[in-house]
Amino acid sequence: MTYGKDPYKFFFEMREKYGNVFVFVLLGRRVTVALGTQGNNMVMGGKLSQVNAEEAYTNLTTPVFGEGVVYDVPNHVLMEQKRFVKIGLTTESFRAYVGMIEEEVELFLCTDSAFAAYKASGVDMWGSFDAYHAMSQLTILTASRTLQGNEVRGQMTKTFPQMYEDLDGGFTPLNLIAPNIPLPKNIRRNKAQKAITEFYMNILRTRRERPSEDTEYDMIAALKDQHYKDGRPVSDREIAHMMIALLMAGQHTSSAALSWCLLHIAHRQDVQDALYQEQVEHFPDSDGSLRSPTYEELKGLPILDSIIRETLRLHPPSHIIMRKVVSDLPVPCSLGNAPENRTFVIPKGNYVWAAPCVTQIDPSIWRKPMEWEPSRWTETGSLAAQLYRDYAETGEKVDYGFGMISKGTDSPYQPFGSGRHRCIGEQFAYVQLETILAMLVRKLEMKIDHVPPHNYHTLIISPQEPRSIRFRRRQ
Ligand code: HEM
Ligand SMILES: *[C@@H]1O[C@H](CO)[C@@H](O)[C@H](O)[C@H]1NC(C)=O
Ligand SMILES: *[C@@H]1O[C@H](CO)[C@@H](O)[C@H](O)[C@H]1NC(C)=O
C-alpha cells in the first residue's frame, strides 16, 4: 500500500532500513528492488539468460499492441523490430517534422476551446488551461501529423480519438497481473485493438495501390518494405501493431513530460523569461517577429534543452523498470548488503525492479536534488554537465541489434532507460518537446502559483489536479 501511495517515499524509507536491495510482496508476487547505480546496472545491463522483459510486460502490452510485436515475441525479434523503427527516425524526417509541429501548435491554439483568450488577439485577457489535458491533446495531434502519417491525422477529428481512448483504457496497472478479466473496459480495449489494426492495414493496402508523396516521412512508409534477417517480410498486421506500440509508447510519456515542463516554467518566471529571450536572440525576423526554427537550430539551444533534461530528472514518466528473473541471479557485492562472505541470490521466478527515479534525486549524487534547476546542466564542473558530456561524446558504445547506443547502464540519470531495452524514441520525443515548448513560449505568457505533486495512480506519473496554468497572449 505504501508503494502504491507514494513509490518515492517507499523506496527511500526501505533503503534507509534495509539498504539498496530488498524484497516486498506486491499482489502475491515477490519483487526484489535493486536501487542505486549498481541496481540500474544489474537490471538494465542484465543478461538475457537472467532477466527478461517480455514476461514482465506482455500482459499489459500484448492485448493493447496486438500479437507478434514487442513483448509478444522473443527478444531477438524485438531487437529487429527496433531496428526497423530506427530506420524511420532519420535526421531528414526530424527536419520535416519541426515545421509540421509548428503548424499544429498554431492550429491548436486557434481552435481549442481552452485557448479562447489566445484567439481574442490584441486584448489583454487571461485564460487558463489544464496542463496535462491540453498537452495530451496536442501531442496526439503532433504525433499523428508526423510519425503516424496523414491518414491518422485526417481521422483525428473523426473516429480515431474514441478508438484511441478505448485502447488506452487497457493500460492499467491491474492488467499487468490479470489482463483478461471480462470488464467492460477490457472488452472495449479488445474491440478498439481490432478496429485500429484494421484501420492501419487499410492504409497500407491503399498506399500500395496508390503511392503518394506526402507520406514519405512517416513511420508507415519506413516500415512498409522491411525484412527480417531470415528474409521474411514484415507483415501488414505486424506493421499495424508496431504503429500502435509507437503511439502508446510516445503518447503518455511525451505529454506528461511536456506538461511538467510547462508547469515548471509557469512557476519560474525567470526561467520562462530566459527561455523566451533565447528564442528572440536566435530567431529574429526582419519584421520584428520570430522566424521558424530548423531542426538543427532547435537542438543546440542550451536553455530549452536543459529545461527538458531537468524536468525528466525530477519527473521521469516511467518510475520503475521491471524484469522477470529467469535464472538465479547473484547480487553483486557492491550492491548487496549481505553479511560478510555471503552473497544474496535473487531466485528465479522473482521480479526485479530498478528505479532510476531514485538515483535521479539521490542527495549523495546531486546538489539540491529536489530543486528544479535547469542551469545545473550547463554549469561548468557540475555532475549534470559531466553526465551529459559522457553520454553525448565519450561514453562506451554497444550494439544490441538496433544500432550503436551509449551503454550507460550504471548511469544515475536514465529517463530513457539503457541497455537492450533502451528507448528508441528519445530523439523524436526531443524534437516534439523542443518544438512545442519553443512555440508555446513564443505565443504565451504563463503563470502558476505551485507546481502540483505527482499523481501515482496512473501508470505514467502525471501531475495531480488542479494543474491549471493561467496564460495570456504574449504581447
Ligand atoms: C519523454 C518521452 C519518453 C520517455 C521518458 C521514454 C522512456 C522509455 C524507457 C524508460 C524505456 C525503457 C523501458 C524498459 O527498459 O523497460 C523506453 C523504451 C522504449 N520506448 Fe520510450 N520513452 C519516451 C518516448 C518514446 C517515444 C516517442 C517512442 C516512439 C516513437 C518510444 C518508444 C520506445 C520503444 C520502442 C522502447 C523499447 C522497449 C523495449 O526495448 O523493451 N518512446 N522508453
Ligand atoms: C499475467 O497474467 C496471467 C493470467 O492471465 C497470470 O497468471 C500471470 O501471473 C500474469 N503475469 C504477471 C507478471 O503478473
Ligand atoms: C571471510 O573470508 C576471508 C577470506 O576468505 C576469511 O579470512 C574470513 O575469516 C571470512 N570471514 C568469515 C566471517 O567467515
| Contact yes or no for 81/61 (Cβ under 8 A) | no
CA 424 to ligand 1 center in whole angstroms: 6
CA 341 to ligand 3 center in whole angstroms: 6
Ligand 3 pocket test, candidate residues 333, 340, 342, most atoms within 8 A of CB: 340
Decide whether any atom of ligand 1 lies within 6 Å of the 246 Cβ.
Answer: yes
Q: Which atom of ligand 1 is nearest to the CA of 219?
A: 30
What is the b/e burial string over 389-406, where b = at least 16 CB atoms within 10 angstroms of the residue's CB?
Answer: eebeeeeeebebebeebb
Ligand 2 pocket test, candidate residues 31, 177, 186, 322, most atoms within 8 A of CB: 177
Ligand 3, atom 2, residue with closest C-alpha: 341
Distance of alpha carbon 293 from alpha carbon 283, whole angstroms? 7
Ligand 3, atom 8, residue with closest C-alpha: 341
CA 332 to ligand 3 center in whole angstroms: 17
Q: Which atom of ligand 3 is nearest to the CA of 340?
A: 13
Alpha carbon separation from 234 to 86, 228, 442 (Å, rounded):
15, 7, 43
Ligand 1, atom 8, residue with closest C-alpha: 416
Cβ neighbours around 278 below 10 Å, total: 18
Say which residues have a Cβ less than 8 Å from residue 446's Cβ, sequence separation at least 6: 262, 265, 266, 272, 440, 469, 470, 471
CA 178 to ligand 2 center in whole angstroms: 6
Tens of pLDDT, residue by residue over 283-318, are 999 998 999 999 999 998 999 999 999 999 999 999
| Contact yes or no for 199/247 (Cβ under 8 A) | no
Ligand 3, atom 10, residue with closest C-alpha: 341
Ligand 3, atom 4, residue with closest C-alpha: 341
Distance of alpha carbon 467 from alpha carbon 176, whole angstroms? 28
Residue 357 labeled ligand binder: no
Decide whether any atom of ligand 1 lies within 6 Å of the 415 Cβ.
Answer: yes
Distance of alpha carbon 93 from alpha carbon 431, whole angstroms? 10
Question: Which one, of 411, 244, 429, 416, lies nearest residue 317 by Cα?
Answer: 416
What phi and psi values does residue 45 have, to the nearest 5 degrees?
A: -100, 10
pTM reported for the whole predicted model: 0.95
Decide whether any atom of ligand 1 lies within 6 Å of the 244 Cβ.
Answer: no
Decide whether any atom of ligand 3 lies within 6 Å of the 341 Cβ.
Answer: yes
Say which residues have a Cβ less than 8 Å from residue 248's Cβ, sequence separation at least 6: 61, 64, 65, 167, 168, 171
What are 33's strand-pairing partners?
22, 353
Distance of alpha carbon 106 from alpha carbon 28, whole angstroms? 49
Domain count, the chain: 1
Query: Residue 146 is which amino acid?
Result: T
Q: What is the pLDDT of residue 225?
A: 86
Query: Is 350 a domain residue?
Result: yes
Q: Which three cell numbers stand for residue 259?
A: 506538461
CA 404 to ligand 1 center in whole angstroms: 16
Query: Is 447 a domain residue?
Result: no
Query: Is 446 a domain residue?
Result: no
Distance of alpha carbon 316 from alpha carbon 217, whole angstroms? 29
Domain with 335 in it: 2-441+453-473
Q: What is the pLDDT of residue 178?
A: 93
For residue 339, the ligand closest to its alpha carbon is: 3
Query: Is 283 a domain residue?
Result: yes
For residue 340, the ligand closest to its alpha carbon is: 3
Q: What is the pLDDT of residue 394?
A: 64
Residue numbers of the chain with a pLDDT score lower than 70: 121-123, 391-394
Q: Which atom of ligand 3 is nearest to the CA of 339?
A: 13
- Helices 184-209, 54-65: crossing angle, 10 deg rounding: 70
For residue 181, the ligand closest to its alpha carbon is: 2
Q: What is the pLDDT of residue 237?
A: 98
Decide whether any atom of ligand 3 lies within 6 Å of the 394 Cβ.
Answer: no
Question: Which one, of 459, 472, 452, lies nearest residue 132 by Cα?
Answer: 452
| Contact yes or no for 233/269 (Cβ under 8 A) | no
CATH number of the domain within which 154 lies: 1.10.630.10
Query: Is 91 a domain residue?
Result: yes
Query: Is 448 a domain residue?
Result: no
Decide whether any atom of ligand 2 lies within 6 Å of the 63 Cβ.
Answer: no
User: What sections of 214-348 are H helices per DSSP?
Assistant: 219-223, 236-267, 269-282, 295-299, 302-314
Q: Which atom of ligand 1 is nearest to the CA of 428?
A: 27
Alpha carbon separation from 21 to 34, 36, 327, 336, 408 (Å, rounded):
5, 9, 18, 6, 21
Q: What is the pLDDT of residue 213?
A: 72
Would you call 359 exposed, middle or buried from its count of C-beta atoms within 10 A (0-12, 13-18, 19+)?
buried
Q: What is the pLDDT of residue 122?
A: 67
